[in-house]
Structure 1
Amino acid sequence: MDVVTIGETMALFTPNEEGMLRHAHSFSMKFGGAESNVAIGLSRLGHRSRWISRLGEDEFGDAMQSFIRGEGVDVSYVTRDQTAPTGVFFKEFRRLNDTRVYYYRKDSAASKMSAEWLQDDSVSDAEYLHITGITPGLSVSCREMLEKAISIAKGNGTKIVFDPNLRLKIWKDEEEARYFLKKYASESDIVLPGISEAEFLFGACSPEEYVEKFHALGIETVIMKLGKEGALVSSQSVPLTKIPGFPVERVVDPVGAGDAFAAGVLSGLLDGLPLDEAVLRGNAMGAMVTMVNGDAEGLPNRSDLASFINGGLDDVTR
């Protein structure tokens, strides 16, 4: 298996018109979750990915498992819970460049994941384990499960990739979130923070100083996301380098861009690209996703990705 990722995905309801959620009368249902977004992004690029999670024994769970399986992702370690529901969340497009997200995930099936529930062979065959800072915030049992996954990965030579993906609403307080995000970062081989997450962890610094602070935690490779400006990359074998981003004329939906970035970087590494070229692929993936409504809907296949990197897609293909 190329990449294994563990975490919660929820049913996503998006209003069919822009404006405040209170005025919405009709919605489209999609699915969204950082870890499954990464798994789908990798699968569309031809890689083998596995998503591990727990879903409610409900219609949302049925539809979600079918959708993700249909994207070519291995869902053989996804289990169902008869006593807890599949989580849901809503997006609100208030106006241009003002998107808000509301979660309804407390006591969801995914929050019941535990160390006892996680099977060793679900992780042990992976080249990379992708984790985020969302999963440990769901519950104490999820933190224990993630610790087990990390232990299995380290015992089998699996590289650990950590995206902080800060979601303050799911943590008891900022101090708890800060402690655990630093802890999981320090246990990982590659970390993919954004500027706002780095500021939360370390206070006000320059992007270059943030990179050094992450290295000081013992992290081999740091890839600092700079939004439309691109990314900074630094590792033991690559000096600090800025990789340019790709311009986007109009951002339709920014949610999921970081997950697409992670999928692009992992894809490049799996293909044996130099680190800077892998990050360039990540930048392209992140840009492409922002131009489509939905968490996973804008994730490209290889031909679309290559066209975009090489100069953009035509307005009309005939």
Structure 2
Amino acid sequence: MSGTGVASIGECMLELSGAGEETWRMGFAGDTFNTLWAIRALTDQARATDYVSAFGDDTFSDRQIAFLRDHGIGIASSPVIPGARPGLYAITLDGAERSFTYWRSDAAARRLADDPDALAVSLEGRALVYFSGITLAILPEDARATLLAAIAAARRAGAKIAFDPNYRPRLWPSAEPARQAVAEALAVCDIALPTFPDEQALYGDLTLEESAERLRKAGVAEIAIKNGSEPALSVQAGATETIPAIRVANPVDTTGAGDSFNGAYLAARLAGDAPADAVRRAHRVAAAVVQVRGALAPVPVLREAFGAAVTAS
């Protein structure tokens, strides 16, 4: 790897979560941001960490960028677009299970690949670049191609590329363009971090092994397939290991659990852990995350579950 920094690409939205019968609490979240939040918490705090997106210039966007900065996360060369604004979603809970309502059709993040030169600069000097199927889904087809070209260039420069297909049917016109986009993403990635129910929904897979074999044939060298509270499957260099999850008797909120799994897994790999050991750490973190509310678990919760000291800046 030629660099040391970490970049995560996607959409950070305003998050509304219930704080009482008629009261809502605002935060900031989104799948690739939730993952970066965990990486930031669990890696050397001197490591350059950036969220690569596009931002508006309204008050909420200013607060969003300040929130990132206050937690040690930059925005690299991401554009700030006059007149644009962030997307918004609200979480409603039924027990620990959540559902989402979105307002994001004109979000600034949909323009994150409008400036190819700025995007390329944002991905320079990275040890790790992370993105997801949601990152792809929010972009027009030409912008998606621009993004994948920039990621491929970062990979050629020495970055490891990690990708979670994170299939969300409502973001795609049909399954076929989603499958095509995921195939193009897998062609430029080193680490795949899918969730098995998503693979079932997109491909009709019957087992984790079937998903892993398809990913292996796509050329992905390292695979960790999440499956909620069921065991995960770790695959690297032909070695396969099934690793039990940690069951939580009374989960509070499952929001962000899979994203935090991804962040912990990647933090462990950056620290030099073997893939199977990284899955074990990621399971511990995910189990801790479902016991707190919101997509972003407190940093002390993440660090305690991760089980390793983090170097302060």
Q: What is the TM-score when the length of structure 1 is the normalising length? A: 0.88
Quickly say closer, same or farther: Cα 1:171–1:299, change in 2 above 3 A: farther
Say whether the 8 Å CA contact 1:36–1:68 is kept in structure 2. no
SS at 1:81's partner residue?
A: coil
Rounded to whole Å, the distance in 2 between the matches of 1:145 and 1:10 is 22
Please state whether the residue corresponding to 1:3 is helix, strand or coil: strand
Aligned-pair distance for 1:303?
A: 4.7
The residue identity in structure 2 corresponding to 1:179 is Q
The residue that corresponds to 1:113 in the other structure is: 112
Aligned residues: 300
Q: Which runs of 5+ in 1 are unaligned?
A: 18-23, 309-318
Asked if the contact 2:57/2:85 (under 8 Å) is kept, the reply is yes
In structure 1, the residue matched to 2:56 is 56
AA matched with 2:50: R
- Which residue pairs with 2:7 in the alignment? 4
Could you tell me how far apart the structure 2 residues matched to 1:46 and 1:301 are? 14
- 2:35 matches 1:38: yes
SS at match of 2:162: strand
Give CA-to-partner distance per residue, 1:62-113, whole Å, 9 cap, x none: 11111111111122333322222211111111x2143101111102111112
Structure 2 counterpart of 1:197: 198
Q: Given that residues 8 and 52 in structure 2 are in contact (C-alpha distance below 8 angstroms), is that contact kept between their aligned partners in structure 1?
A: yes
Q: Which amino acid aligns with 1:253?
A: D
Q: Deviations over 1:92-140 (max 9, x none)?
A: 11x2143101111102111112252433232121111101001111122
Asked which structure has the greater RCO (Cα within 8 Å, sep 6+), the reply is 2
Q: Is it true that 1:186 corresponds to 2:187 in the alignment?
A: yes
One-letter identity of the residue aligned with 2:7: V
Structure 2 unaligned residues grouped into runs of 5+: 309-313
Query: What is the aligned partner in structure 2 of residue 171 from structure 1?
Result: 172
CA distance in 1, matches of 2:36, 2:230: 25
Q: Tell me how far apart the structure 1 counterparts of residues 202 and 239 of structure 2 sit (CA, whole Å).
A: 23
- Residue 313 of structure 1: aligned partner: none
- What's the counterpart of residue 26 of structure 1? 23
The secondary structure found in structure 1 opposite 2:98 is: strand
* Distance (Å, rounded) in 2 between the aligned partners of 1:40 and 1:190: 19
State the match for 2:150 in structure 1.
Answer: 149
Deviation at 1:276, TM superposition (A): 0.9
1:130/1:191 Cα in 2 relative to 1: closer, same or farther (>3 Å)?
A: same
Give 1:299 deviation, angstroms: 4.9
Residue equivalent to 2:252: 252
**SS of residue matched to 1:254:** coil
CA distance in 1, matches of 2:85, 2:202: 32
Matches of 2:277 and 2:263, distance apart in 1: 13
Displacement after TM superposition at 1:300 (Å): 4.3
1:228 Cα deviation (Å)?
1.1
Correspondence for 1:100: 99
Alpha-carbon deviation of 1:302? 6.6
Greater mean deviation of Cα atoms: 109-118 or 160-169: 109-118
Q: Contact between 1:289 and 1:299, CA under 8 Å: does it hold in 2?
A: no
CA distance in 2, matches of 1:124, 1:38: 20
- Secondary structure at 2:198 match in 1: helix
1:82 and 1:213 mapped to 2: Cα distance? 43
Contact 2:175–2:202 (Cα < 8 Å) also in 1: no
Measured against aligned partners, the alpha-carbon deviations of 1:7-52 in whole angstroms (never above 9, x if no partner) come to 11100011224xxxxxx52211011111221222111123322111
The RMSD of aligned alpha carbons is 2.0
Q: Find the counterpart in structure 1 of residue 230 from structure 2.
A: 229
Aligned equivalents of 1:212 and 1:144: distance in 2?
Answer: 26
How many Å apart are 1:168 and its aligned residue? 1.6
Is residue 114–residue 143 contact of structure 2 (8 Å, CA) maintained in 1?
Answer: yes
1:284, 1:305 within 8 Å by CA — same for their partners in 2? yes
2:311 alignment counterpart: none
Amino acid at match of 1:171: W
Q: Is the Cα–Cα contact under 8 Å of residues 178 and 200 in structure 1 kept in the other structure?
A: no
Offset from partner CA, 1:203-260 (integer Å, 9 cap, x none)? 1321112211111111111111121123100111x61101221121222221211111
Match of 1:312 in 2: none
Contact 1:288–1:298, Cα closer than 8 Å, also in 2: no
Partner of 2:285: 285
**In 2, are the aligned partners of 1:115 and 1:144 still within 8 Å (CA)?**
no
